[in-house]
Amino acid sequence: MNIIALEVQPLSKAAFAPFGDVIETADAELRLINGGTTERYHDLAKVEVTGEQARVLVNIFRGQSFTPPIDITMLERHPLGSQAFYPLQNRPFLVVVGEDKGGKPGNPVAFLAQGNQGVNYHRNVWHHPLISLEATSDFMVVDRGGEGNNLEEYFWPDSVFRIGQFS
């Protein structure tokens, strides 16, 4: 088995752009609504759904926490819709994505999302399932419901990408 060290970089809109949207209020369009009593951070992510009877789902996922080292042995993608994650307890989490290389993910890239940042994986972007840090954590998740198979998984047969200590 080939073990490959995977470095973790800070999550930023520019670095994450090939994979989706960073959901955060920094630099967002701010609108005052409800008679000026509510701030609306407008249009933070592009939600995509396609296919038979497609609809947008709003969920809460509760992710068990991981502690380094964390082995990345697979990625998944959703061909029929985007998938957004936003932490509800202001805890950091890891985001691991990979470019598509002929229907399989390329080498993964890891980002550290702060507790005030979320991500929206574009439709068909390879990503690892939820990686909570510090404690079991809840996330607001917006994704696609409806007919059709909206999940593909890829397991590397001979490699493990290992995330060690990071900050």
**Band (107; pLDDT cuts 50, 70, 90):** very high
Here the tokens at position 150 are 């909206």
pLDDT at 79 over 90: yes
pTM score, whole prediction: 0.94
Both tokens assigned to 52: 């038979």
- Find out whether 112 and 8 touch, Cβ atoms under 8 Å: yes
Give me the mean pLDDT over the 77-106 stretch. 98
How many structural domains comprise the chain?
A: 1
Q: Which domain holds residue 138?
A: 2-163
Rounded Cα distance between 149 and 135, Å, is 31
Mean pLDDT of 59-83: 97
Percent over 90 (pLDDT), the chain: 98
Which residue is it, tokens 């993608």? 77
For residue 167, pLDDT over 90 is answered with no
pLDDT, greater one: 1 or 80: 80
* Helices assigned H by DSSP within the chain: 13-16
Contact indicator for 23, 117 with CB cutoff of 8 Å: yes
Residue 66: how many CB atoms within 10 A of its CB? Answer: 16
CATH code for position 159: 2.60.120.480
Residue 44 DSSP symbol: -
